[in-house]
């Protein structure tokens, strides 16, 4: 697997949530009510049997706890760190209704999965070979979860990845105070530990190999190539040095180095989770002031409230209901010209003001890559997203898809769930297909 | 005004809270500190021929993160010289004349009983407690529960002690018997002024699953010990109540077994105890717990309109009866308070797997639905529900007059149709 620079910028960060030691984990586990049909399970896209794994932690059966987690979600380690548990499992904990602190499910999951990684416990074996082969495009969580499940069912898998490093946004996009790139690569290795998953990096599917070649080589395809480049502001001056797409900038700080310590006034444009991550990362890397510039109100931002609260604690500033109309500067960015916007997000003429900025990150969305599949008959695309049904099936009977390229950009846990679900569907289809494997699979 | 002053078989103390004969009552300095904290009396750790103890001596039962809901020990009677004990008894009584110092005793022969009783009384004991209960170690030497399990021996030794004593004599009973009543009556026949119960229950507290040795660990081996602590309270309550409701049994009871707070003490007293003795909770939390016990009992009595302990002692005894005297036509069903329910579905799974399959998940709400036509009123749901007051057992007017099993068998009184018995 690719080597990472040990001095890359993200290494400046430490965990924002301290891990549990055994005593803390057992004490927290013992608070769990062990609900039946638990709301936390319903809230988890991968339906981890949360009360069960927590009970196992409380009895000292950590190996069993990890098995329960990974059996439902092979990304259990990264999800424990990066899931927005506040709006998923922890948010659904019944303790909230009693105004009692909810169970720290993410931290308990991290406790069990970290031990599993440290102990190198392996829980899964590849199924008996079915003789069928599946090609997966993109090496992010969706494809990895799909491939792992397919291997448990006995299908051969080849993953095609454009980048040098696998793991998708888990590797290149996760806020480093939640998980570092090396931990994501550990996870990829852990998942691939089931054996029989071939990973080809540096491959641009569509040209080499072509879609036709890929279809010829595999009995089924899974598309999990995520999203494309940052959406530009499309305003004058955007080409100036010091103006970055936020996703691109984050990838650079995750895998390489960015110089932020001399930044006096950083501005992040956008109001989503990528924008908040970028704000917190810039603050963590030493930018003196970091301002989020968002055309909506605080109440309407799409980023999670708990993340924004954390950013405020760390010193974030915000300019609500404002819109950049030009990037100012000679050789590099020196400021932004902005307009106020009204409650319907429409610019109000005559409200122009200028904002000093020596670094601008643009976090207003990412390109949808639907056009990539133009050459694939039957695969429907709507507003850049690949259309799939509840099992991840596209309109082409041999092609499935999942993750951000279908859902438009959600959490790792959604991608993992969609990948696994598609694997089940692929398996069902292949069993009944030309190379039928009834009696073997 | 609430008066907590206590008289248990002629032994008087400022309140009913006594330290039981055990490690917290091992020495004068300890007991004096306990009195400073507010304890009304103390039963001095059993005196006899001083013994040699083992390491280690104690074990605990933990449950879902709660430590020591049950506890046991394999410690024996005092290992300190009798002279030290008697000297400290004298000093303690001199310093605390109004507090009760009861001296627990355990020896073998009649002569030994005569001698040790005299010395205890000379030292200033307000009462004696005959240890006929210890279920480990001493019983192998023919003492402790070996005496308590034989009513004739119990009666005989009790009569010796009563003969030699000028202060009240309590007999401490062992629960390691099939029926406590004959043993209490034997003590009464021997002339005892009261009984104290229960002593500890024969037990193995746990097993070290890595070393394959029961606990507590003593050089690779272990032995049965005496079980105590909060978990034994139901057994103790039953035995206290069994004696209290026995018409022939007329002497006072000092209640022991899992008393941890004022509520527990109230329960014992309502079932007939005149005083309560505490060991384990003090071992786990210290003498300071008595502050809450005194306050809680005082406020409880004030709330209930009781001015003295006698107003409440035994008040629940008439309501403790045989199964055959329970009203079979009394019917309840579970009611779930939708506003209080947090949707954990513990009642659903408990009813499904452990009861009568009559609580079901609702279609569009986390608040489960009770099928009242099927609900037998067992109250398992109420017990598992984590929200106090969320599930109540509501009486149902089924039109049937009260009828016990005995009524039904003897007088043919009609019984209501059974529910969920298809």
Q: DSSP labels for A297-347?
A: -GGG-SS-HHHHHHHHHTT-EEEESEEEEEEEESSBEEEEEEEEB-TTS-B
Chain B's closest residue to A41, CA to CA, is: B344
From the list A29, A34, A97, which residue is nearest B342 (CB)?
A97
Both tokens of residue A288? 């003196």
CATH number of the domain within which A266 lies: 3.50.50.60
Helix axes B262-270, B233-244, angle to 10 degrees: 30
**Residue at a domain's end among B254, B284, B319:** B319
pLDDT above 90 coverage of chain B, percent: 95
Q: How far apart, in whole angstroms, are the C-alpha atoms of residue B369 and residue A135?
A: 49
Judge whether residue B95 has pLDDT over 80. Answer: yes
User: Strand ranges (DSSP E) for B268-310?
Assistant: 273-278
Are B157 and B170 in a shared domain? Answer: yes
Assigned domain for A54 exists: yes
Residues A211 and A179 placed together within one structural domain of the fold: yes
List the single residue in B65, B366, B387 with the smallest CB-CB distance to A26: B65
Q: Do A34 and B65 touch (CB under 8 A)?
A: no
| Chain B closest-CA separation from residue A52 CA (Å) | 14
Residue A186 within any structural domain of the chain: yes
If asked whether residues B334 and B188 sit together in one domain, one would say: no
Minimum-distance CB partner of B361 among A31, A37, A95:
A37
Q: Which of B8, B134, B358, B375 is catalytic?
A: B134
| Residue reference for tokens 């007293």 | B269
Among candidates B64, B344, B387 on the partner chain, residue whose Cβ is nearest the Cβ of A35 = B344
If one counts the domains in chain A, the total is: 3
Question: Which residue in A29, A31, A36 is closest to B348 by CB distance?
Answer: A36
Query: What's residue A118's pLDDT?
Result: 96
CB atoms within 10 A of CB B50: 15
- Contact between chains at A36 and B366 (C-beta distance less than 8 A): no
Burial of residue A330 (CB within 10 Å: 0-12, 13-18, 19+) is: exposed
Q: Which residue is closest to A59 within chain B, CA to CA?
A: B64
Chain A residues with CB-CB distance to B366 below 8 A = 39
Do A36 and B65 count as a contact with CB atoms less than 8 A apart?
Answer: no
- Bridge partners (DSSP) of residue A232 are none
> Are B49 and B176 contained in the same domain?
yes
Domain termination residue (choose one: A87, A118, A149):
A118
How many domains, in total, are found in chain B? Answer: 2
Residue A433 has what pLDDT?
Answer: 55
With beta carbons under 8 A apart, name residues in chain A contacting B348. Answer: 36-37
- Say what the pLDDT of residue A2 is: 66
- Render pLDDT for B350-396 as a digit per residue (tens, 0 to 9): 999 999 999 999 999 999 999 999 999 999 999 999 999 999 999 99
Are residues B346 and A33, on separate chains, in Cβ contact within 8 Å? Answer: yes
Which of these three, A362, A393, A413, is where a domain ends? A362
- Shared-domain flag, residues A376 and A389: yes
Residue A194 CA neighbour count, 13 Å, CB half:
31
Looking at the DSSP assignment, which residues form a beta bridge with residue B59?
B72
CA separation for the pair A263, A265 (Å, rounded): 6
Is residue B99, in this structure, part of any structural domain at all? yes
A interface test, pick of B344, B346, B386 with most A CB neighbours within 10 Å: B344
Residues of A with CB under 8 A from a CB of B: 26-27, 29-31, 33-39, 58, 94-95, 97-98
CA angle, A353 as apex, A350 and A359 as ends, to 5°? Answer: 145
Last residue of one domain, picked from the residues A323, A346, A362: A362
Tokens of A319: 């300019």
Q: Cis ω on the peptide bond leading into residue A70 (within 30° of 0)?
A: no
Is A107 within the bounds of a domain? yes
Picking from B292, B319, B346, the residue at the C-terminal end of a domain is B319
CB pair distance less than 8 Å for B65 and A58: yes
Residues B343 and B196 in one domain: no
Q: For testing the chain B interface, which of A28, A29, A36 should be mutated: the one with the most B CBs within 10 Å?
A: A36
pLDDT at B54 over 70: yes
B82-95 and B28-37 are packed helices; what angle lies between their axes, rounded to 10 degrees? 30
In a domain, B418, yes or no: no
Search chain B and give the residue with CA nearest A36.
B345
Chain B residue numbers touching A27 (CB-CB < 8 A): 65
Residue A423 counted as domain residue:
yes
Range of the domain at A78: 19-118
Question: Quick one: what percent of chain B has pLDDT higher than 70?
Answer: 100
Answer whether residue B137 shows pLDDT above 80: no
Res B421 pLDDT > 90: no
Asked whether residue B139 falls in the same domain as residue B44, the answer is yes
Mutation site, B338, B342, B350, interface A, largest A CB count within 10 A = B342
Residue B198: name the closest of B177, B215, B175 by CA. Answer: B175
Sort B158 into a burial class: Cβ within 10 Å, 0-12 / 13-18 / 19+.
buried
CB contact under 8 A, A33 and B386: yes
- Reduce the DSSP state of residue B256 to 3 states and report it: strand
Q: Does B307 lie in the same domain as B159? A: yes
User: B62, B64, B357, B367: which to substitute to probe chain A, counting the most A Cβ within 10 Å?
Assistant: B64
Chain A residues with CB-CB distance to B65 below 8 A: 26-27, 29-31, 58
Does residue B254 sit in the same domain as residue B311? yes
pLDDT of residue A374: 84
Q: Are A373 and A358 found together in one domain?
A: no
**Which of A30, A35, A95 is opposite residue B346, by nearest beta carbon?**
A35
* Neighbouring residues of B140: CB distance < 8 A, sequence distance ≥ 6: B146
Omega before residue A406 within 30° of 0, cis: no
Residue B292 sits in the same domain as residue B330: no
Looking at the structure, tell me whether residues B403 and B386 fall in a common domain: yes
Residue B57 lies in a domain: yes
The verdict on a CB contact (< 8 Å) between B65 and A31 is: yes
Confirm whether B134 is a catalytic residue.
yes
What's the rounded mean pLDDT across residues B321-343? 97
ipTM for the complex?
0.91
Looking at the fold, whether A352 and A390 belong to one and the same domain comes out as no
**Digit-coded pLDDT (tens) for B181-194:** 999 999 999 999 99
pLDDT at A208: 84
Mapped onto helix, strand or coil, the DSSP state of residue A242 is coil
Instruction: Tell me, yes or no, whether A200 lies in a domain.
Output: yes
Q: What is the pLDDT of residue A17?
A: 87
Q: CB–CB of A94 and B64 under 8 A?
A: no
Together in a domain, A337 and A266: yes
Is residue B115 a part of any domain in this protein?
Answer: yes
Helix (H, G, I), strand (E, B) or coil at B128: strand
For residue A345, report the phi and psi dihedrals to the nearest 5 degrees.
Answer: 60, 25
Domain boundary residue, one of B319, B344, B379: B319
Task: List, in sequence order, every residue forming a beta bridge with B41; answer none if it has no partner.
Answer: B18, B100
The Cα–Cα gap between B384 and A356 comes to: 61
**Does A217 reside within a domain?**
yes
Residue of A31, A35, A60 to mutate for B, most B C-beta atoms under 10 A: A35
B64 and A33 within 8 Å at the Cβ level: the answer is: no
Residues B184 and B328 in one domain: no
CATH assignment at residue A98: 1.10.1060.10
Same domain, A205 and A254: no
Report chain A residues whose CB lies below 8 A from the CB of B386.
33, 98
Q: Is residue A155 assigned to a domain?
A: yes
Q: Supply the pLDDT for residue A79.
A: 98
For chains A and B, what is the number of CB pairs under 8 angstroms? 37
Q: Is residue A235 part of a domain?
A: no
Residue B231 and residue B341 in one domain: no
* Same domain membership, residue A358 and residue A248: yes
Q: In the predicted model, is pLDDT for residue B34 greater than 80?
A: yes
pLDDT of amino acid B294: 98
Closest chain A residue by Cα to residue B362: A37
Considering only the beta carbons, identify the residue of A26, A37, A98 that sits closest to B387: A98
Is the domain of A257 the same as that of A354? yes
Give me the domain span that covers residue B333: 324-411
A37 vs chain B: nearest CA distance in angstroms? 7
- Please name the helix (run of DSSP H) or strand (run of DSSP E) that holds residue B407, with its range, or none: helix B405-411
pLDDT for the residue numbered B147: 86
pLDDT beneath 50, residues of chain A: 434-441
Q: Which residues of B touch A97 (CB under 8 A)?
A: 342-343
Examine the domain organization and report whether B215 and B299 are in the same domain.
Answer: yes
Which pLDDT score is estimated for A1?
61
Task: Clarify whether residues A341 and A288 are in a common domain.
Answer: yes
pLDDT in tens, B151-186: 999 999 999 999 999 999 999 999 999 999 999 999
Note whether B344 contacts A58, CB cutoff 8 Å.
no
Per-residue pLDDT at A273: 96
B417 domain-assigned = no
Q: Vertex A412, ends A411 and A415: CA angle to 5°?
A: 95
């Amino acid at each position: 697997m690719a080597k990472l620079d040990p001095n890359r910028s993200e290494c400046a960060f430490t965990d924002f949530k301290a891990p549990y030691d055994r005593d803390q984990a057992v004490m927290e586990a013992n608070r769990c009510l062990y609900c039946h049909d638990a709301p936390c399970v319903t809230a988890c896209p991968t339906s981890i049997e949360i009360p069960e794994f927590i009970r196992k932690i409380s009895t000292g059966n950590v190996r069993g706890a990890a098995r329960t987690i990974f059996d439902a979600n092979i990304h259990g380690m990264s999800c424990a760190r990066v899931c927005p548990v506040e709006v998923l499992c922890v948010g659904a904990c019944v303790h909230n209704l009693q105004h009692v602190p909810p169970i720290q499910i993410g931290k308990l999951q991290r406790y069990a999965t970290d031990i599993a990684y440290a102990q190198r416990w392996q829980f899964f074996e590849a199924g008996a070979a079915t003789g069928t082969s599946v090609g997966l495009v993109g090496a992010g969580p969706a494809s990895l979860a799909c491939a792992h499940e397919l291997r448990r069912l006995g299908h051969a898998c080849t993953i095609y990845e454009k980048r040098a490093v696998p793991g998708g946004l888990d590797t290149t996009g996760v806020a480093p105070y939640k998980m570092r790139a090396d931990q994501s690569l550990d996870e990829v290795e852990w998942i691939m530990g089931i054996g029989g998953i071939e990973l080809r990096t540096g491959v641009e599917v569509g040209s080499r190999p072509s879609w036709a070649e890929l279809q010829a080589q595999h009995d089924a395809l899974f598309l999990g190539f995520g999203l494309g480049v940052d959406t530009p502001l499309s305003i004058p001056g955007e080409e100036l040095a010091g103006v970055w797409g936020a996703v691109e900038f984050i990838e650079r700080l995750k895998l390489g180095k960015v110089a932020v310590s001399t930044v006096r006034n950083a501005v992040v444009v956008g109001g989503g989770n990528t924008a908040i991550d970028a704000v917190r990362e810039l603050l963590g890397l030493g930018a003196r002031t970091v301002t989020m510039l968002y055309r909506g109100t605080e109440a309407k931002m799409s980023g999670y409230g708990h993340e924004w609260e954390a950013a405020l604690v760390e010193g974030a500033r915000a300019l609500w209901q404002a819109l950049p109309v030009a990037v100012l500067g000679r050789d590099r960015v020196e400021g932004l010209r902005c307009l106020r916007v009204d409650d319907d997000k429409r610019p109000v003429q005559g409200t122009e003001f200028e904002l000093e900025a020596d670094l601008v990150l643009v976090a207003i969305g990412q390109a949808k890559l639907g056009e990539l599949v133009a050459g694939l008959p039957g695969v429907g695309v709507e507003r850049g997203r690949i259309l799939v049904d509840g099992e991840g099936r596209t309109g082409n009977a041999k092609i499935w898809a999942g993750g951000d390229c279908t859902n438009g950009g959600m959490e790792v846990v959604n991608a993992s769930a969609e990948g696994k679900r598609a694997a089940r569907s692929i398996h069902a289809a292949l069993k009944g297909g030309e190379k039928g494997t009834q009696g073997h699979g | 005004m609430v008066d907590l002053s206590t008289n248990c078989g002629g032994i008087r103390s400022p309140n009913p809270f006594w330290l039981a004969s055990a490690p917290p009552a091992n020495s004068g300095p300890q007991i004096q500190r306990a009195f400073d904290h507010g304890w009304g009396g103390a039963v001095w750790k059993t005196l006899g021929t001083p013994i040699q103890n083992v390491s280690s001596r104690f074990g605990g039962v933990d449950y879902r993160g709660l430590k020591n809901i049950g506890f046991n020990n394999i410690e024996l009677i005092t290992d300190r010289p009798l002279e030290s004990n008697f000297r400290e008894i004298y000093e303690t009584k001199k310093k605390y004349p109004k507090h009760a110092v009861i001296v627990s005793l355990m020896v073998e022969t009649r002569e030994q009983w005569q001698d040790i009783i005299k010395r205890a009384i000379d030292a200033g004991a307000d009462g004696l407690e005959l240890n006929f209960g210890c279920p480990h170690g001493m019983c192998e030497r023919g003492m402790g529960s070996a005496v308590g399990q034989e009513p004739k021996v119990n009666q005989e030794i009790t009569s010796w002690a009563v003969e030699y004593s000028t202060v009240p004599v309590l007999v401490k009973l062992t629960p390691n018997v099939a029926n406590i009543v004959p043993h209490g009556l034997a003590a009464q026949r021997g002339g005892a002024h009261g009984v104290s119960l229960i002593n500890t229950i024969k037990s193995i507290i746990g097993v070290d699953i890595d070393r394959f040795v029961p606990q507590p660990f003593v050089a690779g081996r272990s032995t049965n010990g005496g079980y105590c602590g909060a978990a034994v309270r139901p057994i103790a309550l039953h035995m206290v109540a069994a004696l209290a409701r026995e018409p022939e049994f007329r002497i006072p009871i000092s209640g022991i077994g899992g008393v941890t707070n004022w509520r527990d003490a109230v329960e014992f007293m309502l079932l007939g105890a005149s005083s309560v003795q505490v060991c384990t909770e003090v071992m786990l939390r210290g003498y300071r717990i008595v502050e809450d016990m005194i306050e809680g009992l005082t406020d409880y009595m004030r709330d209930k309109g009781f001015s003295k302990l006698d107003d409440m002692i035994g008040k629940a005894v008439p309501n403790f009866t045989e199964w055959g005297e329970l009203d079979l036509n009394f019917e309840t069903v579970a009611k779930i308070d939708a506003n209080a329910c947090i949707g954990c579905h513990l009642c659903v799974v408990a009813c499904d797997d452990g009861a009568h399959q009559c609580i079901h998940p609702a279609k569009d709400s986390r608040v489960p639905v009770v099928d009242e036509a099927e609900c037998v009123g067992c109250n398992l749901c109420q017990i598992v529900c984590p929200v106090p007051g969320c599930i109540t057992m509501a009486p149902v007017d089924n039109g049937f007059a009260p009828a016990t099993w005995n009524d039904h068998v003897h007088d043919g009184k009609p019984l209501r149709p059974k529910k969920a018995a298809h």
